[in-house]
Each structure stands twice: as C-alpha cells, then as structure tokens.
Structure 1
Amino acid sequence: MAAPKPTVVPLPGFDKDSDAAVLRKAMKGLGTDEKAIINVLVCRSNNQRQEIAAHFKTAYGKDLITDLKKELTGDFEDGVLGLMDPFPVYDARCLKKAMKGVGTDESTLLEILCARNNAQIKAIKDAYKKTYHNDLESDLQSETSGYLKRTLTGLVQGNRDESMAVDAAKAKNDAQTLYEAGEKKLGTDESEFQRILVTRSWLQMRAIFDEYGKIAGRSIEESIKREMSGDLERAYLNIVKFARSPPEYFAEVLHKAMKGVGTDEDRLTRTLITRSEIDLGDIKEAYQAKYEKPLAKAVESEVGGDFKKLLLGLIK
C-alpha cells in the first residue's frame, strides 16, 4: 500500500524566532499583512506552529492567538485560528460547534469520529474535557438519540482494532453475520452491524465487504440503503465509505461542501486543515478523478479574498 501524501510537511531549517518576527511585523502598526501571515502558517506543520506561538509569547510578551483575533475577521480568521489550534483541540472545537444551539450537525460528528484513530480520539476527549469541562461522550449522548447515539457512543470509545493483518476466515464469518442480520431476515438487527462496523480494523472491513458482495449479490452500501434509513443509514455509509478509501471519502465531503447554492465554509476549512498533514495530496487526486476538475479550481470558484489564498496554500 502506498504511503499517504500530505500537502503540508514540516519546514526544513525551521526558525521559530524568524517566523515569530514575521508575524509580529505583519500585525504591527496600521493595517495587517495578511499575505505574510498566510506564507508562514501554510508552510509550517502544526507542531511548528505551536512552537511559533510559544516563542511569540516569550519574545514579545504577547499572545499570538489574541493578536490574530484582533487583526483578522470572518472565514479567514476562522481558518487561521483553526491552523493555530493543536489538532485535538481543533477537532474538539468543531465537535462542540456541531452540538451547539438548536439542532445537531450529525454530519460533522460522523466525519470527525469515523476518521480518527484510537490515539486521536483519546486526545480529542482529553482536549474536550479540558476546554469545555464536560465529557464528550455525555454531550454526544445528550444531543443524539436511538441507533445514531449508539453508533457515536461506540466510535468515541476509540477501541477499534488497529491490526494490519487480515483474517480471511473471520471476514467470511462477519460478512455472513451481516447478511443474516439484514437481507436474510424480517427486520434488521442493527446491533450486529454496529458490532462489526465499529470494532473491526479498516483493512479487515474491506475484506468483509468483498465477502459480503459475494454472499449477498450486492454491495454492502446497497444493503445499508435498503435496510436502514435516516441518521443510522448515513452513519453506516460514512463508516463504509471511509473504510473503502479515505481519499475518495473526503473528496466527496469537499464536493458536498461546495455543491449547490452557498458554500459550507466550516466543512471546507475543517477538511483541508485536518487532512493537510495526512493525505490531502491523495484527496486532490481522488477529487480530480471523480469530478474531473482540480480541487484548487473548485475551491477558487467558491471562496474569495485572503480566505481563498489560505485554503489554496494548504492545497498546493
């Protein structure tokens, strides 16, 4: 399997003192040099940005985040602050926002919790507790209900098998179990779907889906659409799509964020920031293949100004 391709990597010869000075100069006096801020932040890894923020306070006795908030506005501000958050803090903030106010943004909850490994989920829970003085699991349970609540509760445990080995016999057994829990009986036994989709490793699940197709004569996605509805259908399809191909999954997430009237800036920003150091290079390729348009061109046509320059910096 080829190694994932990030678009943001640690800058060789990184100099936190020089970068802090550039950012200080960019915000000093009248006006703000947004270009200088973008040039520094999109070309540094998240760990390097944390070092810059710590050094900024030492060198100038001022908080970099506070200064950025004073100088920037709108989507550009949100993007810059997202880049400055440590990844678990940013995820915790996005989850909190998805549960705030009237209604819950289930798509965001699923996108984040489906796509994080066990260590990342633990770090997000710790960051959430520290920031909001509450348990992420408790908040998820109070904001959702039914089988979706059970699925999110399962995902937030961070107990997925992370083995890189595939057990072919077990894949056949699990595929048969899924078939019997859905297609083969009246009514659907959702608990069996949950048990398998939330606990098996990503590689193992691909083997299960292959076996399922042979047994059922249709894809697992088709069966989920026939057997489930609403939030639960969406939850299981999220997990299956991510298991099959993270780059294709996020290419679709980005496409949906830019589709139709209006742009979902939050989703666009979150996806580009959180995948930039993982596999945004692969997502670009998947986007081009699926939608026959470069991701950068799609983003360029949806947003403007410094916000556009920031996002394009992450993509390129």
Structure 2
Amino acid sequence: MYPFGTPTVVPAASFDPVKDANDLRKAMKGFGTDEDTLINIICRRSNEQRQEIHRQYKTHFGKDLIEDVKSETSGNFEKLLVALLRPIVEFYVAELNAAMAGIGTDEDVLIEILCTLSNAEIHTIKNAYLRSYGAHLESELKSETSGNFKRLLVSLCNGNRDESGRTDVTAAQQDARELLKAGELRVGTDESTFNMILCQRNYQQLRLIFAEYEKMTGHTLEHAIRNEFSGDIMDGLIAIYKCVTNKSEYFASRLHKSMAGIGTNDNQLIRVIVSRCEIDMHDIKVAFERLYGKSLRSWIKGDTSGHYKHALYALIGEQRSS
C-alpha cells in the first residue's frame, strides 16, 4: 500500500473538515486554549486534509487558522503546529530560505533537503521558492556557499538525476573505477567525478557502484569519502551515500543528532518529523531503535515536554501517556 515506506500519519478515515474547523475554533475561543483538541486534529490529519480544514476555517470564521494558532500557542508547540498547517512545499521553501537568511548559512538544512528529494520535488520547490521570495533558489545557493560544496548543491538543484531504475553492472564497474581514480589512486581529489556520479546516477545503479567499489578496495565508498573530503562537501556526499544505502537510517541519524548532546535542536527535530511522518516515519523509528538501542519515543520523552511532546508522540504514531 505504501511503496516508499510506512507512514505514521495517514488520512483520517471519516474526515469532516467543517467539523474539524468548528472544533478548532471552539478550542481557541474565549479564555484559555484546549491544546489536546489542537493536537488531536492537527497532528492526526494528512497535510492535504489540514489544507482543507484551513480553507473551511477561513470560509466559516473569516479568520486565518495559522494566525489563530500563533496567537493561542507559543514556543516549539506553536512552531510545530504552524509547520504542519503549511502546505509541505511551502514548508520546505521556508526552511531553505531560513537556512540562508542572515549571517551564516545552515549547510545541514540545505544538505538534508536537497540530497533527499526526487527531481519532481526539487523542481516544485524551485518554482515555489521563486514565487515566495522573487529569487531563484540556484542563485541563492551560489551566493551562500562556495567551492566544491556549491557545485554539489547546484548539481542537486538541477533535479536531473536518472530515475529510470535501470541497472548496468559493466557501467557500475566503470564508475567505481572512475571514483577510485578520482580519489584514492591520486594525490589530491578530482571532486567533479564524485559530484557527477553521485548526483546523476539512479539509486539502484548507485547501489551497484557502491558494491563494486567495495569489491575493488575492501572498504566502503563512505570510508573513502571521509578520507578524501572534509567539511560541507564531505557531509553532502555522505548524505547522498546514506540516502542511497538506507534512507531510514539517514533520517534516524538526523533525529538522533537533533537530540544528542546539550540542548535540543528543535528546528531539526520538527523538520524531520513533519517532512517524514506521512512517508516513512515508522521505518525511521525502527532504524532509530536499531542504531541507538532506545526507542525514538524515549528520546523525545527525555528531550521535550508538555503539549509539544504529546504532539510529537502523535506524529510518530505513539500513544500519549506520561
């Protein structure tokens, strides 16, 4: 039923957007806010259903649902609900813009989004970015990044990866040899070869190339990338490698990174959960527990609190309690 993974948020079966809009209005009207109702509706509907609720809310009450949620909630709980109420394309566009706005650039966000989307998704986001900000995403990336990392992002931003799914062992062996010659068999690194192969070949073909590389060298291409590169370009190439070999593990590692250490990177935690809950969050949960020995729920319990925590539970398909 779900070819790309198992989601934890699915469309509500007996969906009534008018009732949902009314219930949300009641939850926010008058003194105090019924946060449980906000969670039960906003976190347990698909993005498409949330957009319909948004329209009905405006039609019935002449008010904007996002603005009302902003005025009735605060902190990370507000941030999470607002992210859920945006169309997913708008959400990605806002995240990309925020990653490049102001002083400094959040390269991790650029990598996470551009390294994990399909050609069609990238083209949709580019068009939406232009509409929202009056600037071309590619131009913004060029002005905010530099060197090999800039070239990697521009390649990904073109959304020109082969998506045929066709594989060719001979071609895989040839590409593996080219990667070996471009990296480990020379002084210095020919970054353009890594860029070209990792940004253009389809995922099935890349898996073959990685297997051939390991046969030739006795170690993974990830090992070679870590030896040959550093900084943002290394992170970008490894993100592509991990998405090809096991996308669930890649996103599990992003969630872990958001909660490990001192303090929680709530923007990252929210972004991964909002963007994956309708795609493959169940698979990410399984990968998380396999990699880190504890459930994702237990990590969220330790790193968040209150209504924010319960909203995250709902999105990852966990029941409330304590």
1:231 to partner: Cα distance: 1.4
Match of 1:65?
66
Answering whether residue 239 of structure 2 is matched by residue 238 of structure 1, we say: yes
Distance 1:10 1:164 in 2: 29
Moved more, 55-64 or 266-275: 55-64
Match of 2:141?
140
Distance 2:261 2:33 in 1: 33
The one-letter amino acid of 2:171's match is K
Distance 2:52 2:59 in 1: 11
Identity %, equivalent residues: 47
Match of 1:47?
48
Answering whether residue 196 of structure 2 is matched by residue 195 of structure 1, we say: yes
Answering whether residue 212 of structure 2 is matched by residue 208 of structure 1, we say: no
The one-letter amino acid of 2:160's match is N
Match of 1:311?
312
Give per-residue Cα distances to partners, 1:282-315, cap 9 Å, x unaligned: 0000001111111011111101111111111101
1:213 to partner: Cα distance: 0.5
Distance 1:150 1:2 in 2: 32
Match of 1:176?
177
Match of 2:320?
none
The one-letter amino acid of 1:246's match is K
The one-letter amino acid of 1:20's match is A
Segments of 5+ residues of structure 1 without an aligned counterpart are none
Q: Secondary structure at the match of 1:91?
A: helix
1:165 to partner: Cα distance: 2.4
Alignment length (residue pairs): 316
Distance 2:182 2:256 in 1: 33
Within 5 A, what are the aligned runs for 1:58-97?
Answer: 58-97=59-98
Match of 2:271?
270
Distance 1:300 1:165 in 2: 43
Distance 2:128 2:206 in 1: 29
Match of 1:8?
9
1:3 to partner: Cα distance: 4.7
Match of 1:302?
303
1:10 to partner: Cα distance: 0.8
The one-letter amino acid of 1:253's match is R
Distance 1:87 1:290 in 2: 28
1:217 to partner: Cα distance: 2.0
Distance 1:262 1:245 in 2: 27
The one-letter amino acid of 1:151's match is L
Distance 1:310 1:142 in 2: 37
Distance 2:160 2:135 in 1: 21
Answering whether residue 166 of structure 2 is matched by residue 165 of structure 1, we say: yes
The one-letter amino acid of 1:48's match is Q
Match of 1:30?
31
TM-score, with structure 2 as normaliser: 0.96
Q: Secondary structure at the match of 1:192?
A: helix
1:268 to partner: Cα distance: 0.3
1:164 to partner: Cα distance: 2.1
The one-letter amino acid of 1:256's match is K
1:186 to partner: Cα distance: 1.6
The one-letter amino acid of 1:69's match is K
The one-letter amino acid of 2:280's match is D
TM-score, with structure 1 as normaliser: 0.98
1:2 to partner: Cα distance: 6.8
Moved more, 106-115 or 125-134: 125-134
Give per-residue Cα distances to partners, 1:166-197, cap 9 Å, x unaligned: 22221111111101111111211100000000
Distance 2:299 2:282 in 1: 15
Give per-residue Cα distances to partners, 1:120-176, cap 9 Å, x unaligned: 111111221111111111111111000000000111111111122222221111111
The one-letter amino acid of 1:191's match is S
Q: Secondary structure at the match of 2:53?
A: helix
Q: Check the 8 A contact 2:4/2:279 in 1, yes or no.
A: no
Distance 1:53 1:229 in 2: 45
Distance 1:127 1:65 in 2: 19
Distance 1:211 1:115 in 2: 23
